[in-house]
């Protein structure tokens, strides 16, 4: 008997070691990132998922709150080959089940071959394989989490001051804190608003940019955020990252689809179609833009040609599927935030003419 089990949608039930007790379920995904476990675990994009680390030892440089991307751990559980004691303490303090001493190479290979799959986890004293199977039976498809935005969005508007001229209305669909920081560090005042914010509230704010954040789940379940893009397109510059790119594409008549297992790691190569430059990027997504609608694809993934950047110069639209803010990962694309704020200057110049 073991003190932890994971039941997989392919019928297997694997034994593991309990590092933090609990029973739960979620879509099993993996990240190949070899650093940044605090950032990944606090990224709201992982809501309703179970995060497996392909890198074997997690926790080897400690846990520091100043690296957190939000106020809490978002995956419903975590899996690794080995979690350190400090990680076990962190998981237990947040009531997030964690298991290790499992063959994560095999688990990651299964996800790559069969796709991100549902799983159920049971960890702690007296748990049984049936407990894990019972959790699996209750696991929903990611697209069925229709209210997932409300689980992660800000309960109240907040303002993060950069001290400069530009006002950015950031629609919080599960925003990483480093996206906000990347804008305030460039002088912007960032107004973080609920993903359910009404267009009238934004019109009253009269922002210079509308920014749609990253976030969890199916972009089709963010209708209000999409309607905000439709309302302000052509009126003020619009930017988006990851889920934000997907929502913006849908607002411009495009479409999105679920990937087999997504891109999650810190070494995804992306080519700029104009300059032919390749940058290494941080990625964490399971859906992709299958049809860019009225937008132009400006960047593509070197591995699978998926759309990584969209734009419309005339209306001032710029989005990225990957995470230019890094945290974790390479800083090759931090210039994206300069490009976003440069749209303010361009738009002001156009308006002034
Ligand atoms: N990091 C994100 O914004 C993820 C976007 C979306 N939830 C996806 O899985 O594709």
CATH of the domain at 270: 3.40.50.880
Q: Pick the last residue of a domain from 140, 173, 193.
A: 140
Per the annotation, the verdict on 323 as an active-site residue is yes
- pTM of the entire predicted model: 0.97
Q: What residue owns the CA closest to ligand 1's atom 4?
A: 285
195 with 104, same domain: the answer is no
Asked if the model's pLDDT at residue 351 lies above 60, the reply is: no
Give the model confidence (pLDDT) of 52-84 as tens digits: 999 999 999 999 999 999 999 999 999 999 999
H helices, E strands: number in the chain? 10, 19
251/306 same-domain check = yes
Q: Are residues 304 and 174 in the same domain?
A: yes
Instruction: Provide the pLDDT for residue 295.
Output: 98
Residue 161's pLDDT is: 97
Ligand 1 centre to CA of 2 (Å) is: 34
Q: How far apart are CA 252 and CA 246, in angstroms?
A: 10
Which ligand 1 atom sits nearest the alpha carbon of residue 174? 3
174 and 274 assigned to the same domain: yes
The CA 245 to ligand 1 mean position distance, Å, reads: 9
SS3 of residue 265 by DSSP: strand
Is 80 exceeded by the pLDDT of residue 217? Answer: yes
Residue where a domain terminates, one of 140, 167, 194: 140
Same domain? For 173 and 52 the reply is no
pLDDT(250) > 80: yes
**Is the Cβ atom of 215 under 6 angstroms away from ligand 1?**
yes
Task: Please determine, for residue 283, whether its predicted confidence score (pLDDT) is greater than 80.
Answer: yes
Q: Are residues 227 and 308 in the same domain?
A: yes
Half-sphere exposure of 96 (CA within 13 A, CB side): 25
Q: Which of 31, 243, 324 to mutate to test the pocket of ligand 1 (most atoms within 8 A of CB)?
A: 243
Write down the pLDDT at residue 347.
60
For residue 280, the enclosing domain spans 148-351
Do 300 and 272 contact (CB within 8 A), yes or no?
no
Reported ipTM: the value is 0.98
Q: Using the 8-state DSSP alphabet, how is residue 142 labeled? A: G
174 and 301 share one domain: yes
pLDDT band at 352 (very low <50, low <70, confident <90, very high): low
In this prediction, residues 227-244 reach a mean pLDDT of: 98
Q: What rounded mean pLDDT belongs to the chain?
A: 96
Non-local CB neighbours of 120 within 8 Å, separated by 6+ positions: 6, 7, 23, 24, 25, 131, 132, 133, 134, 135, 136, 137, 138, 139
Query: pLDDT digits over 194-208, tens only?
Result: 999 999 999 999 999
**pLDDT for 91:** 98
Catalytic residue check, 263: no
Write down which residue in 83, 117, 140 finishes a domain: 140
220 and 272 belong to one structural domain:
yes
User: Which string of b and e fits 240-269 if b means at least 16 CB within 10 Å?
Assistant: bbbbbbbbbbbbbebebebbebbbbbbebe
Residue 44, ligand 1, Cβ within 6 A? no
Of the candidates 124, 120, 118, the one whose C-alpha atom is nearest the C-alpha of residue 88 is 124
Among 49, 69, 242, which residue has the most ligand 1 atoms within 8 Å of its CB, making it the best to mutate? 242
Report percent pLDDT > 70 for the chain.
98
Q: Are residues 123 and 192 in the same domain?
A: no
Residues 124 and 157 in one domain: no
Q: Name the strand (E) or helix (H) holding 183.
A: helix 177-184
Percent of the chain whose predicted confidence (pLDDT) is above 90: 96
Number of structural domains, the chain?
2
- Could you tell me the pLDDT band of residue 1, with boundaries at 50, 70 and 90? confident
CATH of the domain at 28: 3.50.30.20
Long-range contacts of 336-340 (CB under 8 A, 24+ apart): 337/182, 337/183, 337/186, 338/186, 340/168, 340/183, 340/209, 340/211, 340/237, 340/239
**Measured between alpha carbons, how far is 306 from 276 in angstroms, rounded to an integer?**
16
Question: Is 190 found in the same domain as 83?
Answer: no
Q: Which residues are annotated as a binding site for L-glutamine?
A: 45, 215, 217, 243, 246, 284, 286-287
What is the Å distance from ligand 1's center to 124 Cα?
A: 31
Q: Residues 259, 286: contact at Cβ < 8 Å? A: yes
- Decide: helix, strand or coil at residue 41: helix
- Cα 176-181-239 angle, rounded to 5 deg: 70
Average of per-residue pLDDT across 36-45: 98
Same domain, residue pair 127 and 173: no
Beta strands in the chain (DSSP E): 4-8, 13-20, 22-31, 49-53, 57-58, 77-79, 82-83, 98-100, 117-123, 158-160, 167-172, 189-194, 209-212, 238-241, 255-272, 278-291, 296-301, 307-312, 317-320
Position 345 scores a pLDDT of: 74
């Amino acid at each position: 008997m073991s003190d932890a089990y994971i039941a997989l949608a392919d019928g297997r039930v694997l034994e593991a070691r309990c590092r933090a007790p609990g029973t739960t379920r979620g879509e099993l995904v993996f990240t190949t990132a070899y650093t940044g476990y605090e950032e990944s675990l606090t990224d709201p994009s992982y809501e309703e998922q179970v995060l497996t680390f392909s890198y074997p030892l997690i926790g080897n440089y400690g846990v520091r709150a100043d690296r957190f991307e939000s106020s809490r751990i978002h995956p419903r559980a975590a899996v690794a080959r080995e979690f350190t004691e400090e990680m076990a303490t962190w998981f237990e303090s947040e009531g997030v089940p964690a298991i290790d001493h499992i063959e994560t190479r095999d688990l990651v290979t299964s996800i790559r071959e069969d796709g991100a799959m549902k799983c159920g986890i049971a960890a702690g004293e007296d748990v049984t394989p049936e407990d894990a199977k019972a959790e699996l039976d209750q696991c929903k498809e990611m697209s069925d989490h229709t209210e997932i935005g409300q689980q992660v969005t800000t309960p109240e508007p907040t303002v993060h001051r950069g001290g400069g001229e530009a006002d950015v209305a950031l629609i919080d669909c599960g925003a990483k804190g480093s996206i906000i920081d990347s804008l305030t560090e460039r002088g912007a005042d960032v107004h973080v608003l609920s993903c359910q914010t009404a267009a009238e509230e934004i019109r009253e704010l009269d922002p210079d940019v509308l920014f749609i954040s990253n976030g969890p789940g199916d972009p089709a379940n963010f209708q209000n955020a999409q309607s905000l893009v439709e309302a302000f397109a052509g009126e003020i510059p619009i930017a988006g990252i990851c889920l934000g790119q997907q929502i913006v594409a849908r607002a411009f008549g495009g479409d999105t689809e679920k990937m087999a297992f997504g891109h999650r790691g810190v070494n995804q190569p992306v080519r700029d179609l104009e300059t032919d430059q390749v940058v290494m990027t941080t990625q964490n997504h399971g859906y992709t833009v299958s049809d860019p609608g009225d937008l132009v694809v400006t960047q593509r993934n070197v591995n699978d040609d998926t759309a990584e950047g969209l734009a419309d110069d005339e209306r001032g639209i710029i989005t990225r599927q990957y995470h230019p803010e890094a945290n974790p990962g390479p800083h090759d694309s931090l210039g994206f935030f300069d490009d976003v704020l440069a749209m303010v200057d361009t738009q002001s110049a156009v308006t002034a003419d």
